Amino acid sequence: MGEAYIVAAARTAGGRKGGKVSGWHPADLGGAILDALVARTGADPALVEDVIMGCVGQVGEQGLNIARNAILASGLPESVPGTSVDRQCGSSQQAIHFAAATVMSGAMDIVIAAGVESMSRVPMGLSSQLPYKNGFGTYKSPRIEDRYPGIQFSQFTGAEMLAKKYDLSRAQLDAYALQSHQRAMAATKAGKFAAEIVPIDVTVDGKTERHDADEGIRWDATMESIGAVKLLAEDGRITAATSSQICDGAAGVMIVNERGLKALGVKPLARIHSMTVIGHDPVIMLEAPIPATLKALDRAGMKIGDIDLYEVNEAFASVPTAWLKVTGGDPDKLNVNGGAIALGHPLGGSGAKLMTTLVHAMQDRGARYGLQTMCEGGGLANVTIVERL
């Protein structure tokens, strides 16, 4: 089996719901990332053999194979194919796994794994809610109902269940949310995101400006302001302030094998060391990154102490805090530049976004091994371990 190398990784700066990035059609946003990856490697666009793009809301502007539409909105030739992936929030992390497996097998040499989500233009849940409201049924079949009677699968319920199972107080979750904003602020001020962000032109109040900084960071966040936010459930512990932000954005990585390296004449940023994906309880749903990480470390013959940096998606503050509690990870190695609570969670784009941030943070800090994982709808989780080269 061959190797899979990441030779370029890039993302757009996140945009708030209805914010600066909302004027971009998601196909154009995805296309901008494809163009950036090609430009960063100096690759002949025709050498790209496939584009695998994650997206959760594959309807409307993100329907009819968003990967192919992003190609047609980019500078890539029409000869480049594309396919779209839905593993819920892990869609573009799964795209990375598919791309890596493809080049490792030797079936292709140069593949782009990417993700995009415009949550302003394609609201969360639209792909299921719109058909249901128009009489076209629901995803929950009679057999699923027999297996999970009366249960409405919900990430919000899962987040609360996770907090209670692992005895995480509201104060702990609020403190974690503040830390996410503080780390994102520090990283932005220090220019830590400059190498990974692809600037795009946006229109604000009728004027064109350069968008190159994440819009969701709360620069005035304090424990008092976070603590004043209303609970999502009366007896709960989660608030909007301890949840990921709705976000518009795109991200991608170019993945190649040894032949691809030679064809491009570039040096790799990192090597894909290990890939794992599991299914877990769909009711608590968001717990899956914990057993997935333990399985991934075991398969790789590693311990948590062998990993220098981790990116655990901050869908809700209860996810990374529970993950730390069980895995014994070092809090100082987790989401070191902030996470989705501050930077946003563009659903299908987040897997590639986190990998982009992880790879660049590893370069910046001289880290050898990095681990990425995220909770996914249906009780799923991907884990990717990478080695900096």
181: annotated active-site residue: no
> Is 97 in contact with 51 (CB distance < 8 Å)?
no
C-alpha span between 238 and 318 (Å, rounded): 8
Contacts of 52 (CB under 8 A, 6+ apart): 67, 82, 83, 84, 85, 95, 98, 99, 111, 112, 113, 114
CA distances from 373 to 126, 129, 292, 324 (A): 25, 28, 8, 12
Beta strands at 247-256 and 5-11: parallel, antiparallel or unpaired: antiparallel
CB 304 within 8 A of CB 328: yes
* Residue 247 appears among annotated catalytic residues: no
* Residue with token string 């909770």: 375
Residue from 89, 97, 211, 360 carrying the catalytic annotation:
89
CA distances for 281 relative to 90, 291, 298, angstroms: 16, 11, 21
The residue behind tokens 């209303």 is 230
**Token representation of residue 54:** 């994650």
Question: Does residue 354 contact residue 320 with C-beta atoms inside 8 Å?
Answer: no
Helix 91-105 vs helix 350-365: angle between axes, to the nearest 10 degrees?
A: 70
Residue among 97, 280, 345, 360 flagged as catalytic: 345
Instruction: Tell me if 313 sits within 8 A of 373, measured CB to CB.
Output: yes
Q: Specify whether 55 is catalytic.
A: no
List the catalytic residues.
Answer: 89, 345, 375
